[in-house]
Amino acid sequence: MIALTLTTVLFAAAPIAGDFAVSFTAPDRVALGESAKLVVAVKNSGKAATVREPMLDARSFEFELTFGDGKASKYTAYHPASYQPSTLKGQDLAQGATLTFEHALVIPTAGTWTFTPIWNGGDAPVRGEAKSIAVEGKDGMDSLLWHMETKSGAMDVEFWTDVAPATGLHIANLVARGYYDGLKFHRVMKGFMIQGGDPKGDGSGGPGYSIEAEFNSRKHEPGVLSMARIGDPRERLGARPEAKFANSGGSQFFLCHGDASFLDEKYTAYGKVVNGMDVVDKIATAPVGPNPMSGEPSMPVDPIKIDKATLVPGMRTVAESGAPAPSPEKKDGGR
């Protein structure tokens, strides 16, 4: 592995073993940094049915996600508790029963975010009506930066939500709930990258689930933030990674220390260091010993942890076209 006006929409699904109706509620607008609450409920007004969607265990629900005019991505909202979706079994939904999934999330970039619920509880997916949330900038800031504090110094990383909206949204919300606090950089390679985000601390862990890749054309150059994943052995022969490998990332990430163009369009680049590249340099040049999982000489001898990870207001430095964003006027107290 590199390894708050509320609107409710109802729609009906063709019955599989029941007669389902799904409601979707979300705020029309939120200020940057405020939490947006998504609520999806499934009601069976027909015969009793057995459904398969993990959401009906109040654990996850799938959305089609777009940011602005960008292409659609798959975003799966997960319950904060870690779990393995593959272990969940079908659940009986009695006539008249309603089961609800609630998901509160922080959206890291100002603009229009559109969520379309997709229920996978039956034999065919059922799409709900899309709901757009306008995220408004606050105090002259238009994005949330990932602020990491370490003993080597602090870093601020922006999210490229124009090319990887689901990945940015997923990681930002792990940050918001304190997931990364205390996790170490378990793999550092001078001139290549520094890798962290594993709760086990050896490269084998994650949040208990994985997300779909959002490969894009952004280059893996120094400072770029990218998703770590399981490597496909065929990639060494020049093949593209199979889906099971491409979509194996969960919480592990890496920050490029040098040029890593051989990873372009094979790993999800989804942000870049905007403050603190010198900290990346310090971590990347720390003395290392063998990694207990692989034997690779890449684990810092003196552990380097993310002491605290938070989301702080900032300004995008990359426009949605991929070109540098226009320089904003300086704001007192801005980052």
Q: pLDDT tens across 22-60, in order?
A: 889 999 999 999 999 999 887 777 777 766 554 444 467
Q: Work out the mean pLDDT of the chain and round it to a whole number.
A: 85
Q: Is the pLDDT of residue 171 over 90?
A: yes
43 touches 98 (CB < 8 A): yes
pLDDT tens-digit profile of 284-335?
Answer: 999 999 998 889 999 999 999 999 999 999 998 876 555 555 443 333 333 2
The answer on 246 and 111 residing in a single domain is no
Amino acid identity of residue 101, one-letter, is: F
- When pLDDT is averaged across residues 245-262 and rounded to a whole number, the result is 96
Domain co-membership, 116 together with 168: no
Residues 152 and 282 placed together within one structural domain of the fold = yes
Residue 142 has pLDDT above 50, yes or no: yes
Residues 125 and 225 in one domain: no
Query: Which pLDDT does position 3 carry in this prediction?
Result: 56
Say what percent of the chain tops pLDDT 90: 64
Dihedral of the CA atoms 296, 211, 317, 150 (nearest 10)?
-50
pLDDT of residue 85: 46
Give Cβ neighbours of residue 171 (< 8 Å, ≥ 6 apart). Answer: 146, 159, 251, 253, 270
Pair (75, 154) in one structural domain: no
Give yes or no: residues 184 and 95 share one domain. Answer: no
Question: Same domain, yes or no, for 175 and 292?
Answer: yes
Q: Which of these three, 136, 162, 189, is where a domain ends?
A: 136
Give the CATH number of the domain where residue 150 resides: 2.40.100.10
Beta strands 131-136; 29-31: pairing state: parallel
Mean pLDDT within 225-247: 92
Asked if 109 and 210 sit in the same domain, the reply is no
Structural domain range at position 199 = 143-314
| 150 shares its domain with 55 | no
* 156 lies in the same domain as 51: no
pLDDT surpasses 70 at 123: no
CATH number of the domain that residue 49 is part of:
2.60.40.10
Confidence at 7, pLDDT banded by 50, 70, 90:
very low
Contact 227, 294 (CB under 8 A): no
* Geometric angle at alpha carbon 248, from 81 and 148, rounded to 5°: 65
How far is Cα 104 from Cα 143, in angstroms, rounded to an integer?
18
Tell me if 308 is assigned to some domain. Answer: yes
**Same domain, yes or no: 179 and 299:** yes
Are 23 and 70 contained in the same domain?
yes
pLDDT band at 15 (very low <50, low <70, confident <90, very high): very low
Q: Closest by alpha carbon to 137, among 66, 34, 5, 270?
A: 34
pLDDT at 51: 66
Residue 102 — very low, low, confident or very high, per pLDDT cuts 50/70/90? confident
Question: Residue 194 — pLDDT band, cuts 50, 70, 90?
Answer: very high
Distances (CA, A) of 58 to 54, 122, 139, 177: 7, 16, 36, 18
